């Protein structure tokens, strides 16, 4: 029973004194929301969201001790376009009250400086010299409109997924596009020429370029006549070092999907296979990217 009392007391301390267990930067933010048609809860939610984002904004500007760099306003907007709870470690209300037709909220919050700096590095405003910077381009190859509907965002969806996975692995992802123009012809030039890929990597300030393609095609009608028709999926990803166009790794896979699976399940399986290849390629990048310096 004494153990339970100690555990409960510890939980209470964590709830009321979160700053003792956080390395984040403590900032404050305030926000207001207009009460429309008596919707107090809606106004409170809007005020709360603004307060969190203003706390994050203060933390972003606090990263720079001297003059703010060019492009700072755009960088702040990119950071604030993310769910604020990605950066918020904990918060507490300083003010949470209605004043006439307004709802006002003030918060004190711990904002993760590591995540802020990582995002600023992705944007290119600061440089993390320890992290490997990646430029990423994953193209989509779909042979029919029905397949295009599976990935309506095409290569942007796939490139965004790869960027998210590599950020989670601790890499820095450069926001600038690898290809100077978003056309199949431009991608084919990069696919065929590692030297050109390396040039684009240097242009955007990346240490390594991750290039790849997810190609989905219908199975031939003459194949597997006793089974439901499906899709052939071919995925390849490779890493090219920007400094010297060295190939750091190449991963490929071909598999089949059943056509009668729901669209979300088809997409999930494609992403799972792509993720496995990205993780394996990431290990090659870590092992080889700094060699030859």
Do 106 and 140 reside in the same domain of the chain? no
Q: Name the band, by pLDDT with cuts 50, 70 and 90, for residue 253.
A: very high
Q: What is the CATH number of the domain that holds 64?
A: 3.30.1660.40
Domain boundary among 68, 87, 116: 116
- Give domain status of residue 38, yes or no: yes
- List CB contacts of 6: < 8 A, sequence separation 6 or more: none
Average pLDDT for 39-45: 94
Greater pLDDT, 184 or 286? 286
Buried b (16+ CB within 10 A) or exposed e, 251-285: beeeeebeeeeeeeebbebbbebbeebbeebbebb
Looking at residue 114, its pLDDT comes to 81
Looking at residue 12, its pLDDT comes to 40
| Helix/strand/coil for 231 | strand
- Give domain status of residue 293, yes or no: no
Number of separate domains in the chain: 2
CA distance 197 to 212: 12
Average pLDDT for 255-273: 81
Do 99 and 143 reside in the same domain of the chain? no
| Helix/strand/coil for 88 | strand
Looking at residue 103, its pLDDT comes to 96
CA distance 156 to 191: 17
Of 287, 209, 204, which Cα lies nearest the Cα of 241? Answer: 209
Reported as a single tens digit per residue, the pLDDT across 170-225 is 888 888 889 867 677 888 999 999 999 999 999 998 999 999 999 888 776 554 44
Comparing 13-22, 58-67, 210-219, which segment has the lowest mean pLDDT?
13-22
Do 150 and 261 reside in the same domain of the chain? yes
- List CB contacts of 264: < 8 A, sequence separation 6 or more: none
Looking at residue 218, its pLDDT comes to 77
The H or E element that residue 155 is part of is helix 155-168
- Give domain status of residue 230, yes or no: yes
Q: What is the CATH number of the domain that holds 176?
A: 3.40.50.10610
Domain boundary among 90, 116, 142: 116
pLDDT at 57 over 60: yes
pLDDT at 270 over 50: yes
Domain boundary among 116, 142, 165: 116
Looking at residue 220, its pLDDT comes to 61
For residue 49, what are the domain limits?
14-116
Q: Specify whether the CB–CB gap between 243 and 272 falls below 8 A.
A: no
The region that residue 164 occupies, defined by phi over 0 for left and psi between -120 and 50 for alpha, beta otherwise, is: alpha
pLDDT at 258 over 50: yes
Do 90 and 195 reside in the same domain of the chain? no
Task: Say which residue the tokens 């890499």 belong to.
Answer: 171
Residue 112 is classified by DSSP as -
Looking at residue 229, its pLDDT comes to 67
Q: Name the band, by pLDDT with cuts 50, 70 and 90, for residue 145.
A: low
Do 256 and 282 reside in the same domain of the chain? yes
Distance (Å) of CA 187 to CA 157, 161, 212, 275, 277: 16, 18, 9, 21, 20
Looking at residue 192, its pLDDT comes to 92
Do 32 and 166 reside in the same domain of the chain? no
Looking at residue 19, its pLDDT comes to 41
Do 178 and 111 reside in the same domain of the chain? no
Average pLDDT for 96-110: 94
Highest mean predicted confidence (pLDDT) among 3-17, 110-124, 217-231: 110-124
């Amino acid at each position: 029973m004494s153990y339970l009392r100690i555990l409960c007391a510890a939980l209470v301390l964590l709830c009321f004194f979160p700053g003792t267990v956080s390395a984040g930067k403590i900032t404050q933010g305030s926000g207001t929301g207009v009460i429309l048609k008596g919707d107090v809860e809606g106004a409170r939610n809007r005020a709360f969201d603004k307060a969190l984002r203003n706390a994050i904004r203060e933390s972003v500007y606090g990263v720079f001790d001297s003059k703010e760099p060019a492009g700072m306003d755009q960088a702040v907007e990119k950071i604030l376009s993310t769910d604020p709870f990605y950066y918020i470690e904990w918060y507490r209300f300083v003010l949470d009250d209605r004043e006439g037709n307004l709802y006002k909220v003030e918060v004190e919050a711990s904002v993760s400086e590591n995540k802020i700096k990582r995002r600023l590095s992705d944007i290119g405003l600061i440089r993390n010299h320890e992290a490997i910077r990646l430029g990423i381009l994953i193209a989509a190859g779909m042979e029919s409109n029905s397949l295009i509907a599976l990935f309506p965002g095409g290569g942007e969806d796939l490139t965004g997924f790869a960027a998210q996975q590599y950020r989670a692995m601790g890499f820095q992802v450069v926001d600038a596009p690898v290809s100077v123009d978003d056309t199949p012809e431009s991608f084919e030039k990069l696919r065929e020429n590692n030297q050109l890929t390396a040039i684009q990597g240097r242009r955007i300030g990346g240490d390594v370029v991750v290039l790849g393609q997810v190609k989905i095609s219908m199975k031939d009608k003459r194949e597997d006549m006793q089974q439901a028709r499906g899709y052939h999926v071919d995925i390849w990803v490779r890493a090219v070092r920007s400094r010297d166009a060295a190939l750091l790794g190449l991963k490929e896979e071909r598999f089949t999907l059943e056509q009668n699976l729901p669209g979300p399940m088809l997409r999930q399986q494609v992403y799972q296979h792509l993720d496995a290849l990205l993780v394996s390629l990431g290990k090659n990048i870590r092992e080889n990217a700094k060699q030859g310096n």
